[in-house]
Amino acid sequence: MTIHVVDHPLVHHKLSLIRDRKTPGILFRALIEEVGLILAAEATRTLPTESVVVETPLERTGSLRLKSLDPVLVPVLRAGLGLLPPFLQLMPTAKVGHLGLYRDHDSLVPVPYYRNFPPLLEARPVFILDPMLATGGSASEAVRQLKTAGAVNLSLVSLLAAPEGLERLQRDHPDLTIVVGAVDRQLNDKGYILPGLGDAGDRLFGTV
Ligand code: PRP
Ligand code: URA
């Protein structure tokens, strides 16, 4: 498994504001989108390109363009929706799949409730978007469902990861690439990331 922790001053700065319990929802959402842009730039570093010739106003030159088959973005509902706008801003023609999962409060086992994936998953890079990787149960289930549907080139993009979640994914999906803003200390006994940022879905959508 490849884990890429995006060690960047802007990510550190924005994460410190995102973590702050006093940060209001409107700013929380905007900051997640701003960090999402940086994570998107990192996560797409290895997208395949092809050579083209373009005519500038001055001369012909060789250049690179993305290969034509668009990537797939799969936000894990709900909190993954917070990362979708920055990814679509950078890749406006990407296809979007949706996956509904929630963690059972007692068992912490993910419960699937919705799924809608675009075609040609096997031929496209797939980016799973979920700001929080806690026990890893939800991410593992998301990867499992996408692999079953044919995806082979899979990356998970998260804001925060717990060591427990990374270990779980290493066991379940050693072929996965993970791009993450920070790796936190541990989980508490309710499966929340410490120090973390609280409940990402609740803070994004005002359901606290
Ligand atoms: C959160 C988060 C992840 C999951 C991570 O979603 O967005 O999907 O928990 O936890 P895990 O790694 O232990 O599975 P939640 O289940 O709270 O659903 P919500 O986004 O709808 O609130
Ligand atoms: N989901 C969240 O939103 N926050 C956590 O700390 C763990 C799971």
> Quick one: which ligand is closest to 158's CA?
1
CB within 8 Å of 41: residues ≥ 6 apart:
90
What radius of gyration do the chain's Cα atoms show? 18
Under-50 pLDDT residues of the chain: none
Q: How far is the CA of 91 from the centre of ligand 1 (A)?
A: 25
Summarize pLDDT for 123-143 with one digit per residue, the tens: 999 999 999 999 999 999 999
What confidence score (pLDDT) does residue 208 get?
Answer: 83
Ligand 1 pocket, CB under 6 A: 76-79, 101-103, 108, 110, 130, 132-139, 165, 191, 200-201
What confidence score (pLDDT) does residue 205 get?
Answer: 98
> Domains along the chain?
2-46+71-205 (3.40.50.2020)
* Ligand 1 atom with minimal separation from the 141 CA: 14
The annotated binding site for 5-phospho-alpha-D-ribose 1-diphosphate is made up of 78, 103, 130-138, 199
What confidence score (pLDDT) does residue 68 get?
Answer: 78
Q: Is 199 in the pocket of ligand 2 (CB under 6 A)?
A: yes
Quote the tokens at residue 71.
């990537």
CA–CA gap between residue 148 and residue 21 (Å, rounded): 39
CA–CA gap between residue 124 and residue 110 (Å, rounded): 26
Q: How far is the CA of 65 from the centre of ligand 1 (A)?
A: 36
Q: What burial letters (b/e) apply to 81-101, b meaning 16+ CB within 10 Å? A: bbbbebbeeebeebbebbbbb
The annotated binding site for uracil is made up of 193, 198-200
Which of 29, 132, 145, 172 to probe ligand 1 with, by most ligand atoms within 8 A of CB?
132
